[in-house]
């Protein structure tokens, strides 16, 4: 089975029809369902996505995400070890726009043998995690 990570940018684009990545994100989620992908995300992405959807799209969109998209994913709850690996990666990279959440996401992906992400974020591609 193909395992694909879902980033905040993928969740958000699926919900926001004005997002430039919307059409592609929607197509990837549909393809994932057709091809029976195992979708994976992290508790940090969950927190980040919740805040973004609530602030930009409102509670109705948040409930839609919670009830329809999030249940499709296995959520990896970040422990101290994954946090430390992600923090070390972020500190080593020293890139202003590379977030701790993304660095922890990369560590989650490596730990779960996941090689692709539904993400509209150049950092995923630059770190070897392209779109599926």
Burial 43-74 (b: 16+ CB within 10 A, else e): ebbbebbbebbeeeeeeeebeebeeebbeebe
Q: One digit per residue, pLDDT tens: the chain, 132 residues? A: 899 999 999 999 999 999 999 999 999 999 999 999 999 999 999 999 999 999 999 999 999 999 999 999 999 999 999 999 999 999 999 999 999 999 999 999 999 999 999 999 999 999 999 999
Whole-model pTM: value is 0.96
Question: What's the confidence (pLDDT) of residue 17?
Answer: 97
The domains located in the chain, with CATH, are 3-76+114-126 (3.40.50.1010)
Question: What's the confidence (pLDDT) of residue 1?
Answer: 87
């Amino acid at each position: 089975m193909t395992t694909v990570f879902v980033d905040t940018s993928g969740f958000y684009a699926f919900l926001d029809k004005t997002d430039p990545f919307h059409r592609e994100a929607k197509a990837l989620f549909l393809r994932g369902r057709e091809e029976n992908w195992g979708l994976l995300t992290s508790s940090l992405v969950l927190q980040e996505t919740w805040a973004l959807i609530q602030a930009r799209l409102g509670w109705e969109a948040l409930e839609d995400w919670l009830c329809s998209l999030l249940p499709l994913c296995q959520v990896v709850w970040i422990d101290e070890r994954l946090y430390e690996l992600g923090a070390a990666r972020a500190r080593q990279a020293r890139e202003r726009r590379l977030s701790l959440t993304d660095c922890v996401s990369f560590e989650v992906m490596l730990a779960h043998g996941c090689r692709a992400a539904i993400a509209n974020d150049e950092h995923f591609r630059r770190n070897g995690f392209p779109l599926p």
